[in-house]
Amino acid sequence: MAEITTLQSSKEFGNELAVSSAPPPESRPSEHAPPKGKSPTKYRHVAAVHPRQRTSWLSHDSEQSPSFLGFRNLMVIVLVVMNLRLVVENFMKYGVLICIRCHDYRRIDILLSTMLYALVPCHLFVAYIIELGAAQHAKGALGRLKRSGYNPDNDLYQKSRSFQATWYTIAWAHGINATFCLLVTTYVVYYHINHPMIGSICQVHAIIVWLKNCSYAFTNRDLRHAYLNPSSAGTLPEIYSQCPYPRNVTISNLAYFWWAPTLVYQPIYPRSSSIRWLFVAKRLAECLGLSVFIWLASAQYAAPVLRNSLDKMKTLDIASIIERLMKLSTISLIIWLAGFFAIFQSVLNALAEIMRFGDREFYTDWWNSPSVGNYWRTWNKPVYHFMRRHIYSPLVGRGFSSGFASTMVFVFSGLLHELLVGIPTHNILGVAFIGMVVQLPMIYLTAPLEKMQGINGRVIGNCIFWISFCLVGQPLAALMYFFAWQAKYGSVSRLEKG
- State the catalytic residues: 417
Closest CA to 114 of 205, 211, 213, 212: 205
HSE-CB at 215 with a 13 A cutoff on CA atoms is 22
| Contact assessment for residue 486 and residue 303, using Cβ atoms and an 8 Å cutoff | no
CB-neighbour burial class of residue 354 (10 A; exposed 0-12, middle 13-18, buried 19+)? middle
**Which phi and psi angles does 248 have, rounded to 5°?**
-80, -15
Type and span of the H or E element at 380: none
CB atoms within 10 A of CB 492: 18
CB atoms within 10 A of CB 313: 20
Closest CA to 299 of 479, 98, 89, 483: 98
Whole-angstrom distance, CA of residue 438 vs CA of residue 410: 9
Whole-angstrom distance, CA of residue 387 vs CA of residue 413: 9
CB atoms within 10 A of CB 290: 21
Three-state secondary-structure class, residue 490: coil
One-letter amino acid for residue 447 of the chain: A
> Which ranges of 392-430 does DSSP label H, i.e. alpha helix?
393-397, 402-422
Long-range contact set of residues 410-418: C-beta below 8 Å, sequence gap at least 24: 410/436, 410/437, 410/439, 410/440, 411/436, 411/437, 412/387, 413/383, 413/387, 416/207
Please give the C-alpha separations between residue 380 and each of 11, 128, 294, 365, in angstroms, as whole numbers. Answer: 78, 27, 20, 11
CB-neighbour burial class of residue 255 (10 A; exposed 0-12, middle 13-18, buried 19+)? middle
Closest CA to 473 of 431, 444, 441: 431
